[in-house]
Structure 1
């Protein structure tokens, strides 16, 4: 195992810092882990989302990834500018990347066929009810807006934009009235299926194209249109963190400052939670402050462990996963769907594999978690094969 890890780490450029690479890998690994249990009904609480308000470790995964997107924008644009690539060319490439991410999100939404149900209609059940938004679609939209901000705004104006987005979103959710299907006009609600963001999703996209299509009184999407605004703020916070890192070469000062600022952001998040509750599905301002603050602290800890104290071997698998984050996400999505789609006897291939695990492990939660680990092991084999052959899918 040590030789395996050393071989991965030794391939990295000697001057390259590992913290961001490992954090990206850890985040995408956690995302795949929680998305692929043996049974959704048997999951340990840290691997589940909060029922509504509040948060669990799982609720930090997506905003951490968005924060990393922001940091990566700063570093990649700086690198491209150093190569004398124009901002116009960078923006053009960013638009293309966004289109690709949205298309990949739609591909995953459509990649399913129920072979065991003779009445299943792919056109009626999938194509005509395509979920318009989703994880990759949000990443694409957030990336493009954040990229434009970094290309054309100063760090000070980016900070102002970040704060403005949170203030506008919070004020709109609190004070803009909307009409329920029964004709009642309400405002200021943060309820499941009853809030301004849900009203906008349902009005613009229609209930059949939303994740919670049956939510009452208003269907909505956790990666909805209006809630994408504060998600942009999450990316801008990552941009600002990376701007600071590029201006402060002392790694220990970097870590101390990020921990301090991150702690203040977490405190601020809890302070305003009385006004705007911490909620991932609505991506509330308090949730942005909490998650961005914890992301900054987590990056600082990774930097201290990996780049200051040079304890690096443990991070090797996450380098592999992080180097091909989008390919890993796509592979996991397709692989998971294939396991469900392929019939095997009276069950699916996934059901049969999980059934075998349950014969060995009687505890349902442990069996479900073991399936997740097995899924990750198979995925790692594929991603490591790509890593060894130099196959890196840059969307």
Structure 2
């Protein structure tokens, strides 16, 4: 089967009313996430495929906020359709609550899904269950989804705009102006350091040092998907809601919509970088400047995809990303579970992943390129599974 025919068959499975550019954007985002999450060795990774060490950003730092933005776009499309049908608001909130709970539960499942087969005295109960990381990627997506749905249902465009402004400026004010103390009574205020910020203090107090990602951070253990930093993430989803309204506005032409996304995207990228001079761009703290900047890039890239795919008609290249995007949550779960299994399956005294990297990929391609080729191979293996499910029209819905 030729590539052209293959791509046409893949794209023909989608309903005719789907926003192809949005599906491709979702697919590109989840593809990038799986690629950067699965190097052959974390000791050998090209810098753009790592998160910024603290302030600043890399291309990898764009991935998660893109997902948050896409959640907002999808909410707008679904909520507008449901409200047009007259669906009861409480019913929609109930459904959103169930979905949020499922996402949160799946996140906890991934946090618990690991067993160290190489340590004879390893206790899964003590090491995982009793110290489970409460927050995470899926947990944040669930919370952001629920709060965004509620805001969309009870506030119009002006109210949603106020929410975005309030969340971003309010987060800046809270982080910079509210004092907090450590166990020794030392008072801090306005710090944005690793382990020393109001967000870190709150995570340490509420979640506890054993239940966060940076459990050894001092003076406060914290989580990059923590409690306080989830609130500005809601602003990113609400920006996606405005974009979803734009994309479904039948009174505007596709070219006009694309120009609007380009203009707003460039304006927000510049505004975010300027804002970063006052409130540094930082993914781990999910600073307001980070939200503004990443929203700008999301708009710009979605606008570019809309122009390329829907206006110019260059679609065939996008088929693999449509396959990944159509089952984004399942793809994320599948990749995370398989990656953990590769770390748990022993080959002699090392894991299957370690054996593959050290015995196959590193000798063939070198350390850095071998680590990258392992990630690409993992991606291709995942594609085979997602492709089979896509052709059978099996789509995982949370």
TM score, norm. by length of structure 2: 0.97
List runs of 5+ in structure 1 lacking aligned partners: none
Deviations 1:342-384 (A, max 9, x none): 1111111111111233354242110000000011011111111
Q: How many residue pairs were aligned?
A: 395
Equivalent position to 2:147, from 142, 145, 148: 145
Contact 1:155–1:243 (Cα < 8 Å) also in 2: no
TM score, norm. by length of structure 1: 0.98
Q: Kindly report the root-mean-square deviation, in angstroms, between the aligned alpha carbons of the 2 structures.
A: 1.2
1:275 aligns with 2:278: yes
1:45 aligns with 2:38: no
Comparing 6-15 with 183-192, greater Cα deviation is found at: 6-15
Equivalent position to 1:193, from 192, 195, 206: 195
Instruction: Give the drift of 1:313.
Output: 0.6
The match for 2:158 is: 156
User: Residues 239-318 of structure 1: matches in 2 within 5 Å?
Assistant: 239-247=241-249, 248-318=251-321
Tell me how far apart the structure 2 counterparts of residues 157 and 207 of structure 1 sit (CA, whole Å).
37
The match for 1:133 is: 135
| 2:64 alignment partner, SS class | helix
User: Residues 295-374 of structure 1: matches in 2 within 5 Å?
Assistant: 295-358=298-361, 360-374=363-377
Instruction: Give the drift of 1:143.
Output: 0.3
Tell me how far apart the structure 1 counterparts of residues 7 and 198 of structure 2 sit (CA, whole Å).
49
Deviations 1:33-55 (A, max 9, x none): 10000011111111100000000
Deviations 1:176-201 (A, max 9, x none): 00112332101011111110000000
1:220 aligns with 2:222: yes
Tell me how far apart the structure 1 counterparts of residues 359 and 80 of structure 2 sit (CA, whole Å).
51
Contact 1:263–1:297 (Cα < 8 Å) also in 2: yes
Deviations 1:29-86 (A, max 9, x none): 1111100000111111111000000000000000001000000000011223344432
Tell me how far apart the structure 2 counterparts of residues 241 and 388 of structure 1 sit (CA, whole Å).
30
Tell me how far apart the structure 2 counterparts of residues 51 and 259 of structure 1 sit (CA, whole Å).
29
The match for 1:167 is: 169
| 1:279 alignment partner, SS class | coil
Equivalent position to 1:123, from 125, 137, 142: 125
Contact 1:357–1:371 (Cα < 8 Å) also in 2: no
Tell me how far apart the structure 2 counterparts of residues 151 and 361 of structure 1 sit (CA, whole Å).
55
Tell me how far apart the structure 2 counterparts of residues 208 and 171 of structure 1 sit (CA, whole Å).
28
Tell me how far apart the structure 1 counterparts of residues 391 and 381 of structure 2 sit (CA, whole Å).
16
Tell me how far apart the structure 2 counterparts of residues 296 and 19 of structure 1 sit (CA, whole Å).
12
Tell me how far apart the structure 1 counterparts of residues 363 and 161 of structure 2 sit (CA, whole Å).
53
Tell me how far apart the structure 2 counterparts of residues 385 and 336 of structure 1 sit (CA, whole Å).
20
The match for 1:75 is: 77
Tell me how far apart the structure 2 counterparts of residues 341 and 110 of structure 1 sit (CA, whole Å).
13
Change (3 A) 1:125 1:261: same
| 2:42 alignment partner, SS class | coil
Contact 2:202–2:227 (Cα < 8 Å) also in 1: yes
Deviations 1:122-147 (A, max 9, x none): 00000000000000000000000001
